[in-house]
């Protein structure tokens, strides 16, 4: 048995063999039954069974009907999914636009606040005027300290020890 598995090709060693399909038994129609045809009945013997092919045909028709219904359901589900995908995509696009609008609004408010701070800061003329006033006051106060001998009232620094005799 192990030798058989080694000599067979690799694809055949694991596939089990299936038994041959059993033949469909057919019942013979009795020859003694008379076949009578009338105007309101078809010419078929009442004891004759329906042919096996029509039962298989009916079953095949039912399977085809079920298959068609399943295909219709699949097509409807597919169209529903594609509509949902479109709706989700449009909603995502709208949410991205809203987020961008929110970001733009926040940016606008920040720019507006910076603009107001810049407008409140002094301009060039005010800075030049402040510099001139500061320099003039410095000169005036320095001259006043020297004329009024106010510098003598200021505490004197102690001279370094190395310079004393």
Q: Give the tens place of pLDDT for each residue, 107-143.
A: 999 999 999 999 888 889 999 999 999 999 999 998 9
d(CA 62, CA 64): 5
> Domain extents for the chain?
56-122
Q: Give the tens place of pLDDT for each residue, 23-47.
A: 555 554 444 444 444 444 444 444 5
pTM for the predicted model, two decimal places: 0.35
**SS3 state at 30:** coil
């Amino acid at each position: 048995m192990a030798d058989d598995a080694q000599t067979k090709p690799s694809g055949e060693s694991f596939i089990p063999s299936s038994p041959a399909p059993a033949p469909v038994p057919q019942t013979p129609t009795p020859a003694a039954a008379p076949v009578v045809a009338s105007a309101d009945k078809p010419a078929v013997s009442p004891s004759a069974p329906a042919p096996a092919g029509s039962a298989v045909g009916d079953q095949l028709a039912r399977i085809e009907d079920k298959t068609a219904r399943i295909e219709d359901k699949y097509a409807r589900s597919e169209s529903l999914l594609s509509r949902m995908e479109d709706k989700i995509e449009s909603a995502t696009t709208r949410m991205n636009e809203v987020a961008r609008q929110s970001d733009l609004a926040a940016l606008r408010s920040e720019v507006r606040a910076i603009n107001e701070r810049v407008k409140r800061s002094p301009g060039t003329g005010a800075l030049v005027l402040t510099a001139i006033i500061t320099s003039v006051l410095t000169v005036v106060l320095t001259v006043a300290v020297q004329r009024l001998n106010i510098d003598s009232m200021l505490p004197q620094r102690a001279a370094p020890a190395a310079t004393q005799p």
